[in-house]
Amino acid sequence: MNNKIIKHLLFWIVISLLWSARDMVYHQNFFQNLKTNVYTFLPYALLVYFNLFVLIPKVLLAKKKVLYVLFLLLGLFLITMLSSWSLDVYFTNINNLTTALFFGSYQGKISIVTELLVIVSISMSFYFYDQWNQKEKYAAEIEKKKLEAELHQLKSQINPHFLFNSLNSIYILLGQNLDLGKETLIQFSDLLSHQIYENNKERVSLSKEIENLKNYIKLEKVRHEDVLELDYKFPTDQNNLYVTPMLFLPIIENAFKHGQRTDCYWIKIKMEVLEDHNLHLTVENSLNPFSKASTKNHGIGLNNVKRRLELIYPNNHELSIEKRETSFKIYLKIKLYESQMPNR
């Protein structure tokens, strides 16, 4: 309400100043012109606000265009006659009979109705611009809520997929080596802690995310140590850079899932951060051409990553997927955040 009042006051102040500057052609006293125009605009304001608060919302926007034009013409006529009479009285009282006679004449009424049309038109322009601006903000807010809901859904989709694969790995390991299984279960608890407490944040430190990835890799490495050739490299001391949580895990998880063979397989993981804070992640794994899993689509994991990148890093990321007969390679490039809190 306060903002609206300020906007309306500014509107009339600017109009009054402009009209007073224009009237310097006829009368050199600017402040006298300003006083006269303030008096002149009082009846004008009646039509302006009747148009803005009654005619436009209740008649024009109700698609009663003919009725709106009739009411507006009637308003122009009545305010013109009222202004003609009031200006006649005003200039008579200050002994300016020539000007008083002018505003009482036919030519004076034409001058008044012309001014009225200009001011009403300007006020309508501001009104419709404000309405358009409000609709744009409302549409943007709706879109934001929609994207937030979709992003929340995408995050929640990670949970069962991630938990199922991790629990399956521990289950197999407990049957093979109980002590090692218990140790791995502790690592899994760290993974689960990250999943529960960090996944709901908009940003986490890159160091925490890397530690989570290492825990997952260790879990899978223990499970497939006899058949897995693994080479991975992560940057160190990245506490001052931030990233969206759980963005990289589906990519690495995909390598373990689709790279598995009964005899042996290999995975190469390389993450580096350049001086411009651009992160480069390359994940490459061997591919079994005879495996049913390798012939299917990438599944929910990578599709999830693609959609999250579109929502969180629109036009600010690079993702490439290269599938060969015996290997599969994913390359991701994103710009890391330098702040933990998003800009609002």
Asked whether the predicted pLDDT for residue 206 surpasses 60, the reply is: yes
How far, in Å, CA of 251 to CA of 301, rounded? 7
The strand pairing partners of 331, in sequence order, are 282, 320
Beta strand 228-233 pairing with 327-335: unpaired
Residue, of 159 and 85, whose pLDDT is higher: 85
Asked whether the predicted pLDDT for residue 181 surpasses 50, the reply is: yes
- Tens-place pLDDT, residues 241-250: 999 888 898 8
Asked whether the predicted pLDDT for residue 154 surpasses 60, the reply is: no
Return the H-helix or E-strand segment holding 302.
helix 299-312
Q: What is the pLDDT of residue 77?
A: 94
Asked whether the predicted pLDDT for residue 73 surpasses 90, the reply is: yes
Asked whether the predicted pLDDT for residue 225 surpasses 80, the reply is: no
Q: What is the pLDDT of residue 76?
A: 94
Where residue 220 falls among pLDDT bands split at 50, 70, 90? Answer: confident
Q: Are residues 3 and 11 in contact, defined by beta-carbon separation less than 8 angstroms?
A: no
How far, in Å, CA of 156 to CA of 196, rounded? 10
Per domain, the residue ranges of the chain are 2-138, 177-335
Average pLDDT of the residues of the chain: 83
- Tens-place pLDDT, residues 115-125: 999 999 999 99
The pTM of this model reads: 0.56
Q: How many CB atoms lie within 10 A of CB 260?
A: 22
Asked whether the predicted pLDDT for residue 158 surpasses 70, the reply is: no
Where residue 295 falls among pLDDT bands split at 50, 70, 90? Answer: very low
3-state per-residue secondary structure call for 244-273: CCCCCHHHHHHHHHHHCCCCCEEEEEEEEE
Residue the block writes with tokens 């309508």: 124
C-alpha 199, offset from chain centre: 21
List Cα–Cα distances, 172 to 220, 222, 246, 292, in angstroms. Answer: 11, 10, 24, 22
Q: Are residues 229 and 265 in contact, defined by beta-carbon separation less than 8 angstroms?
A: yes
Q: What is the pLDDT of residue 54?
A: 93
Where residue 306 falls among pLDDT bands split at 50, 70, 90? Answer: confident
How far, in Å, CA of 227 to CA of 82, rounded? 96
How far, in Å, CA of 231 to CA of 267, rounded? 6
List Cα–Cα distances, 202 to 22, 323, 332, 339, 343, in angstroms. Answer: 56, 31, 19, 11, 11
Asked whether the predicted pLDDT for residue 70 surpasses 80, the reply is: yes
Topology of domain 177-335 in CATH is: Heat Shock Protein 90 (3.30.565)
Asked whether the predicted pLDDT for residue 148 surpasses 80, the reply is: no
- For the purposes of burial, counting CB atoms within 10 Å of the CB of 232, is it exposed (0-12), middle (13-18) or buried (19 or more)? middle
Q: Which token pair is 311?
A: 């929502």
